């Protein structure tokens, strides 16, 4: 199960990113983190940009509501989504 923390109108959760995929999609979970394959390369923030755009669309949020809170240069990231719930993130991991 994806570990999430809710508070102050936002949900924070870990994401494990696999860059340079053929397409951007959720690939389940990895050690308590949401695993996302990203089509963009990890160059000049392109993978982070693709990740936030994808998660915002998948959670039904504006792009400005999703941010990489830490781990910008790592495959393991902490993401904050304002206006989302932990249940929405867990459903996303289950593919619902």
Whether 83 contacts 61, CB under 8 Å? yes
3-state helix, strand, coil in the chain (%, to 5): 25, 40, 35
User: Quick one: average pLDDT of 57-78?
Assistant: 97
What residue ranges do the domains of the chain occupy? Answer: 4-94
- List strand residue ranges (DSSP E) for the chain, in order: 4-7, 10-18, 25-30, 33-37, 66-70, 76-82
pLDDT in tens, 17-47: 999 999 999 999 999 999 999 999 999 999 9
CATH 3.20.20.60 at 4-94, yes or no? no
3-state secondary structure of 1: coil
Q: Is the pLDDT of residue 96 over 90?
A: no
């Amino acid at each position: 199960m994806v570990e999430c923390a809710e508070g102050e109108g936002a949900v924070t959760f870990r994401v494990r990113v696999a860059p340079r995929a053929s397409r951007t999609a959720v690939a389940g979970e990895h050690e308590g983190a949401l695993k996302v394959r990203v089509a963009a390369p990890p160059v000049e923030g392109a993978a982070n940009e693709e990740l936030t755009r994808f998660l915002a669309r998948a959670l039904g949020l504006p792009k400005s509501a999703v941010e990489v809170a830490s781990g910008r240069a790592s495959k393991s990231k902490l993401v904050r989504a304002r206006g989302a719930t932990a249940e929405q993130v867990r459903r996303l991991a289950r593919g619902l």
